[in-house]
Structure 1
């Protein structure tokens, strides 16, 4: 039997993919920080049995139609809005993602972003490094308390629950909105389910962790930001397209909300001239939610295991449900 072929769309550490190389012929794009050109990807999938993809790689009907031997797509992420699940089902391709292994690491980053936004840490750091700190004053770089405040989590899945657990350490009041009740989080953490509008009106920190779908597209719009407290901070570590960024910019500019911490954007990489990046009350990060060395290695390992199992005719560890 011919050895299966796998194409990896970014350069990854050789140590991490060594187990996969022992059972498959692995070809890898040469760049770590630049996505594989679409035309190269379309060429490579014609002879590939497996793909290890990034969020920037579109796995759609056009690609799958040119991949007659493809059995599995392992996405290096929890999210999979870059994958057409219906097209995968029709072409009998199994898509996989990397849940669980990045939950705690991402929750760490979300809470760090919340704290940096609330206490104006990046702004204060820049203030000092730019030589602006000449005298001390009682309200110099004064931010917002985090302890005993209300955190409103939109999207109470694994990561949302982990964020709520961290909020407990700050004696925060946890409210959440989700497609369905999270009874476990309510029981373990005292989280309280509420409607979306009620959450916006009540929370001091609104944390967005929802995935991108047609129903969540632009959910955080002008109307949503208007309902929030003027002292509230908005944290987005879900998906950029769930936010109307023009509306967010106006809300910040006009003082409808106090600040924002953003790890994701509708266009990534975000252009350096984007209006949101001009505001001091915005903490912006380059989509690094799960970016710890340990977690990224675990994510790569899980992708490799999913590919290896699928290519061997076994069920992968974390397949994405494609049934309708």
Structure 2
């Protein structure tokens, strides 16, 4: 029996590609660049399944033009806001994602952003790296202490809970807002806030760990940033669309926020050039899950979903 044909538009980990080639006929796009709408449509006539990333966009228009041969889209991502799920479902196409396996890596990056913003890492690195460090005083490079501070987490899914566990190592008081309150045993002492506005008022640090949905897009407005305590820090390792970037700049420039740590932006790739002049804004290029261990785990989770589908079973992560 012929192996199913799988299109992989991005260069996944070596271990993922090795396993994929063992079990499937793989068509790998040679250029490691986002698959365009036209490429997706053309490849749907040649492949039974695909392993796209968040960079490939399956809009309603694309979904309507896919060849009937394509049966499954096994995303190499947790987020699925690049997929019109209703349009794909209407075409009978199974869509999966890779939850759980990137929780710790993304939470680690959120901690890194929080610490770097709090302790003025961008500024300090620049001072030492350029040879400008020529003095010291008790007033030099004074930052914000993380230990014992209040951490507000928006979205207590896998990443949010992983972040809460790590924050407890800094003796932080964990507060959270979620669509639904967690069971008491899962809270592990975290304090639930029914509304986002209530959470903001007690967040010395605020970490966004929720998906971008019609309800959450643009939720961090000027009014909401103003509800955060003066001198607080915003961390976003989820989706850039959650934040009104102009409002964030205003809050930074006015001194209401002491800083921000950002791994995602409204425009990706590229980010927001207006942030670059502010050394109290720490930036990473959407690298939350970028560890070797996690990249292998994401690729293997996508392949697990493909294996189940082509074996005639419901994939574990079908949406």
Structure 1 residues 109 and 184, CA gap change in structure 2 (3 angstroms): farther
Structure 2 Cα separation of the partners of residues 276 and 61 of structure 1: 33
**1:14 Cα shift?**
4.4
CA offsets 1:128-172 (integer angstroms, 9 cap, x no match): 101111011112111100011100001111111111111111111
Report the equivalent of 2:203: 203
Gap runs ≥5 in structure 2: none
- Is residue 44 of structure 2 the alignment partner of residue 45 of structure 1? yes
Report the equivalent of 2:310: 311
Structure 1 residues 161 and 185, CA gap change in structure 2 (3 angstroms): farther
Report the equivalent of 2:19: 19
**1:252 Cα shift?**
0.6
- Superposition pairs for residues 124-163 of structure 1, below 5 Å? 124-163=124-163
Structure 1: which 4+ aligned runs deviate by more than 3 Å?
184-187
Structure 2 Cα separation of the partners of residues 3 and 219 of structure 1: 46
Verify the 8 A CA contact 1:48 1:69 in the aligned structure 2: yes
Verify the 8 A CA contact 2:209 2:236 in the aligned structure 1: yes
Could you tell me the TM-score, scaled by structure 1's length?
0.93
- Is residue 282 of structure 2 the alignment partner of residue 275 of structure 1? no
Verify the 8 A CA contact 2:51 2:76 in the aligned structure 1: yes
Report the equivalent of 1:55: 54
For residue 46 of structure 1, give the secondary structure of its aligned residue in structure 2: coil
Verify the 8 A CA contact 1:17 1:304 in the aligned structure 2: no
**1:56 Cα shift?**
1.2
CA offsets 1:267-323 (integer angstroms, 9 cap, x no match): 10125x621122111000000111111110111111112112212322212222xxx
Structure 2 Cα separation of the partners of residues 185 and 199 of structure 1: 20
Structure 1 Cα separation of the partners of residues 50 and 82 of structure 2: 13
**1:187 Cα shift?**
4.3
**1:12 Cα shift?**
2.5
Structure 1 Cα separation of the partners of residues 62 and 312 of structure 2: 22
Report the equivalent of 2:75: 75
Structure 1 Cα separation of the partners of residues 132 and 143 of structure 2: 18
CA offsets 1:62-83 (integer angstroms, 9 cap, x no match): 3333221111111111111001
Structure 1 Cα separation of the partners of residues 266 and 221 of structure 2: 13
Could you tell me the TM-score, scaled by structure 2's length?
0.95
Report the equivalent of 1:238: 238
Report the equivalent of 1:99: 99
CA offsets 1:181-208 (integer angstroms, 9 cap, x no match): 01246642x1001121121111100111
Structure 1 residues 13 and 226, CA gap change in structure 2 (3 angstroms): closer
Verify the 8 A CA contact 2:35 2:55 in the aligned structure 1: no
Structure 1 residues 236 and 187, CA gap change in structure 2 (3 angstroms): closer
Verify the 8 A CA contact 1:48 1:67 in the aligned structure 2: no
For residue 89 of structure 2, give the secondary structure of its aligned residue in structure 1: helix
Corresponding residue pairs, total: 317
- Is residue 184 of structure 2 the alignment partner of residue 178 of structure 1? no
For residue 202 of structure 1, give the secondary structure of its aligned residue in structure 2: coil
Gap runs ≥5 in structure 1: none
Structure 1 residues 286 and 238, CA gap change in structure 2 (3 angstroms): same
